[in-house]
């Protein structure tokens, strides 16, 4: 079960990031499904997982579009709630180096209540996966419920924020990128951060872009996994995809 955000992504490609006050021409515009939670759910489903998504959308065209995507991917949407708030959107700029900058307007993703059908989905799951684009109180409630039912809990601490000690204490696995790991651990080096975080969280997987990933458990690095060499086209959702497939 993935509990998380569902957004419509509004993606502009442009050669470089605009300076403050500058107007520049982009090269393309595209809309598509997104949200860290939805991206993870789709990745897990495409990797062969039996996936249910717990999320919130608005009663609008964007919401309908996201439901269609989840249905087409064979993801269980019994936990997808239609709210009075609009569907979340993310304004994304992708520059020629493949890097992105994202601004999210959360809308329906702010919904904080966990209802009985959603609690039932979590209780029956093997894994519960959450990120930080839904209210913290909701995530804590869901993680506690998962723990109470022996469900393995997975947290991607994105978008980066600290401190999130209560969430970390409820996670069996965390999957931060190097920047998020550094912020949470308070040390710049990704391996040192992974080691430090693994003294509280049983399994820490730090993604390092082109440098691959490291896994730390019980205060030591237990695995270093190289990345395939590719030319980056668009890094949007790369971390989400990694987590979905990992789970």
Chain-centre distance for alpha carbon 22: 31
Q: Is 104 in the site for ligand RIB (CB under 6 A)?
A: yes
d(CA 29, CA 88): 18
Report the residue number, 5 or 217, with the smaller CB distance to ligand RIB: 5
Among 7, 93, 177, 207, binds ligand RIB (CB under 6 A): 7
Only segment of 67-75, 213-221, 224-232, 235-243 that touches ligand RIB (CB under 6 A): 235-243
The binding track of 194-233 with respect to ligand RIB, each residue x by CB under 6 A or -, is ----------------------------------------
The tokens of 245 are what?
Answer: 């497939």
**Is 35 a binder of ligand RIB (CB under 6 A)?**
yes
Best CA proximity match to 212, nearest among 200, 226, 224, 198: 226
Secondary structure of residue 159 in the 3-state scheme: coil
Position closest to ligand RIB via CB: 34
Closest distance between ligand RIB and the C-beta of residue 161, in Å?
14
Q: From the list 87, 153, 207, 236, which residue makes contact with ligand RIB (rule: CB under 6 A)?
A: 236
CA–CA dist 244, 247 (Å, integer): 5
Residue 166, CB-side half-sphere exposure with 13 Å CA sphere: 10
The 121-160 site mask, x for binding ligand RIB (CB under 6 A), equals ------------x---------------------------
Q: Which is nearer to ligand RIB, 155 or 195 (CB)?
A: 155
Among candidate residues 61, 109, 106, 104, the one with its CA nearest the CA of residue 83: 109
Number of CB atoms found within 10 A of residue 48's CB:
8
DSSP designation for 162: S
Residue 193: CB minimum distance to ligand RIB, A: 20
Binding of ligand RIB by 244 (CB under 6 A)? no
Instruction: Single out the catalytic residue among 71, 97, 116, 240.
Output: 240
How would you write 24-77 as a 3-class SS string? CCCCEEEEEEECHHHHHHHHHHHCCCCCEEEEEEECCHHHHHHHHHHHHCCCEE
Nearest to ligand RIB of 112, 222 (CB atom): 112
Of 90, 128, 138, 142, the one binding ligand RIB (CB under 6 A) is: 90
96 is catalytic: no
d(CA 246, CA 4): 17
**Which of the residues are catalytic?**
240
Binding site for ligand RIB (CB under 6 A): 5, 7, 9, 34-36, 39, 90, 102, 104, 133, 236-237, 240
């Amino acid at each position: 079960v993935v509990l998380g955000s569902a957004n419509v992504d509004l993606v502009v490609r442009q050669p470089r990031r605009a300076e403050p006050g500058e107007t520049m021409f982009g090269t393309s515009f595209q809309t598509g499904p997104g949200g860290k939670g939805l991206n993870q759910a789709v990745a897990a489903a495409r990797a062969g997982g039996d996936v249910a998504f717990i999320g919130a959308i608005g009663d609008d065209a964007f919401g309908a579009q996201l439901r269609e995507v989840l249905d087409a991917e064979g993801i269980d949407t019994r936990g997808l709630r239609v709210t009075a708030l609009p569907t979340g959107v993310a304004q994304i700029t992708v520059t020629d180096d493949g890097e992105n900058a994202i601004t999210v307007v959360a809308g329906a993703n702010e919904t904080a209540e966990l209802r009985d059908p959603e609690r039932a989905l979590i209780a029956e799951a093997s894994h519960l996966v959450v990120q930080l684009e839904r209210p913290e109180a909701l995530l804590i409630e869901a993680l506690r419920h998962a723990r109470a039912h022996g469900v393995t809990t997975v947290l991607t601490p994105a978008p980066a924020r600290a401190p999130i000690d209560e969430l970390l204490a409820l996670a069996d696995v965390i999957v931060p990128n190097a920047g998020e790991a550094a912020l949470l651990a308070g040390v710049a080096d990704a391996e040192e951060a992974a080691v430090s975080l693994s003294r509280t969280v049983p399994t820490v997987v730090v993604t390092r872009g082109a440098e691959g990933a490291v896994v730390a458990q019980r205060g030591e690095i237990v695995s270093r996994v190289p990345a395939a060499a590719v030319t980056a086209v668009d890094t949007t959702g790369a971390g989400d995809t990694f987590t979905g497939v990992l789970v």
